[in-house]
């Protein structure tokens, strides 16, 4: 082999390795979405909602990104309600495709249904506690931090 071919192969190996370290367009989009949400005051984490299929009829655990806002002035951490975008036994008053996962204090169903119709298809869970509210999403291309922030605020008000 000529020295020129060896040098070219070494350069290709180096540049190929560096190119593999660069984040993909999807990773860049998710990083921007999450950073924008953090700037709006949301807490972001990858989370799993463990379902109780015997109690609710919801079969699959839900793995998604949780966008959450805390209200530090409220000390109670009691769950008020939780809806999931899966078939379950209790779907009373909810749009098609949504089920109650847990409920201790029923929200205004008209306002909740209005929220559920507005959220994008990648939203799979909406929860409201006394001191926080959260939206779990699959973070598809249609997601934006502003919409997630609005949906979390609307869920907290219910």
Closest residue by Cα to residue 133 from 85, 83, 87: 83
What is the pLDDT at residue 24?
87
Domain annotation covers residue 20: no
Domain annotation covers residue 62: yes
Range 34-50 average pLDDT: 94
Matching residue, tokens 């951490």: 77
Domain annotation covers residue 11: no
- Answer positive or negative: Cα dihedral of 103, 108, 109, 113: negative
Domain annotation covers residue 9: no
> pLDDT digit string (tens) for 74-127?
888 898 999 999 888 888 888 998 998 888 888 888 999 899 999 989 999 999
Domain annotation covers residue 8: no
Domain annotation covers residue 86: yes
From 13-22, 33-42, 57-66, 102-111, the region with the lowest mean pLDDT: 13-22
Asked if residue 27 lies in contact with residue 52, where contact means CB atoms within 8 angstroms, the answer is no
Domain annotation covers residue 122: yes
Total tally of structural domains belonging to the chain: 1
Q: Which domain holds residue 37?
A: 25-157
What is the edge-to-edge ordering of all strands in the sheet holding 123-129? 43-49, 62-70, 132-137, 123-129, 79-84, 99-103
Domain annotation covers residue 85: yes
Higher pLDDT residue, 19 or 95? 95
């Amino acid at each position: 082999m000529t020295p020129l071919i060896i040098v070219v192969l070494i350069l290709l190996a180096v540049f190929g390795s560096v190119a593999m370290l660069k984040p993909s367009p999807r990773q860049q989009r998710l990083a921007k979405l999450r950073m924008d949400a953090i700037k709006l005051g949301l807490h972001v984490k990858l989370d799993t909602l463990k379902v109780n299929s015997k109690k609710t009829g919801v079969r699959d655990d839900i793995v998604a990104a949780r966008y959450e806002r805390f209200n530090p002035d409220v000390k109670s951490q009691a769950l008020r309600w939780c809806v999931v975008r899966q078939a379950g036994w209790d779907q009373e008053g909810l749009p098609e495709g949504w089920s109650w996962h847990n409920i201790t204090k029923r929200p205004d169903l008209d306002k909740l249904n209005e929220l559920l119709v507005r959220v994008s298809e990648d939203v799979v869970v909406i929860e409201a506690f006394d001191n926080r509210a959260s939206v779990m999403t699959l973070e598809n291309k249609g997601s934006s931090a502003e919409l997630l922030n609005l949906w979390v605020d609307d869920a907290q008000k219910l």
